[in-house]
Amino acid sequence: MKKTLLFLALIVSNFLWAQVGVGTDLPSPSAQLDIKSSNRGVLIPQIALTSPTDQTTISAGNVESLLVYNTSTTSTLTPGYYYWFQGRWQKLAVEANLPDNAVYWDIVNNAFTYIDAGGNTTQLDLTTLVRNLQTTTSLADGTNTTVESATLLNNTEYKVNVNTATGTTLGVVREAAANPTVKINAQGELSVDYTNLNTIVETSVSYTVKPNDAIVLGNANGGDVDITLPAATADNRGKKIIIKKEDSNEDFFVTIIGTIDGLAQLYTALPYSGWELISDGTEWKIINKF
């Protein structure tokens, strides 16, 4: 009989240690501790923590997920429920401490979720926002900059909107009043008018080379012709120009004036002879003589 009672006691003891029910004889099989009550709550231990990293107040040491109710008020703590996680006491957020609107960043889907004051949720796709309104603006350090709003123009991808470009709106690539360097056709496609960039000049009098001149032909049939080069600077570095004596007369000279390979001038009376020059940013270099 004693052996039978001992056996039953062991079984009951094992059952009691397996699950604990408070206020119920049948605790939930999913819970180690099941508390049921219609008029009472669970009182979490009230602890006066000293800081978010307090590891001394809990005498036996902090363990992950340990829950307490903090009663102290410090510069870094306020009363409320805290749990221990990765070396710090983390406070459980309450609705009163949350802003009326909030934005949450989803690093997996690369999107923001915005919650407004009414609790409505809107997902903002960052990649779409950046692609639709992308821009790069560089501001010089120490320079005051004013940013103002403006109505977006009707821009088409890889093309210029012809109606906008031919109108009076500033700030876009548009047709010039006369002889435009950049031309726009009816489809909004751009092309460069090279006739304005590579001007051919023929002169029988002294002449100063202009920035767009590409070929200067000096006609010395009636007298000497002086052709003056612009100063070689960083702005025209790489600029090429051909200067040629364009006549059969051998009595008069075509003279090129400027800093040319250390010389102050070049001259020729030989019909149809000349030079091709290039600016290196400091002086003109001869790259071809004919």
Give the tens place of pLDDT for each residue, 37-79.
Answer: 999 999 999 999 999 999 999 999 999 999 999 999 999 999 9
pTM beyond 0.85: the answer is no
Angle at 151 between CA 146 and CA 153, to 5 degrees: 115
Residue 122, pLDDT > 50, answer: yes
Residue 25, pLDDT > 60, answer: yes
One-letter amino acid for residue 69 of the chain: Y
Q: Round the average pLDDT of the chain to a whole number and report it.
A: 79
Report CA torsion sign: 67, 73, 76, 78. Answer: positive
Distance from CA of residue 281 to its chain's centroid?
34
First and final C-alpha spacing in the chain = 131
In DSSP notation, 192-254 reads E-TTTTSEEEEESS-EE--TTEEEEEE--SSS-EEEEPPPP-GGGTT-EEEEEE-SS-SSS-E
Residue 138, pLDDT > 90, answer: no
Separation of alpha carbons 290 and 277, rounded Å: 12
Q: Fold for domain 199-289?
A: Jelly Rolls (2.60.120)
Separation of alpha carbons 129 and 127, rounded Å: 6
- What pLDDT is attached to residue 131? 60
User: What percent of the residues of the chain are helix, what percent strand, and what percent coil, each to the nearest 5?
Assistant: 10, 30, 55
Q: Which two tokens stand for residue 63?
A: 């363990």
Domain residue extents for the chain? 46-97, 99-133, 154-195, 199-289
- What pLDDT is attached to residue 54? 96
Q: Which two tokens stand for residue 209?
A: 């080379």
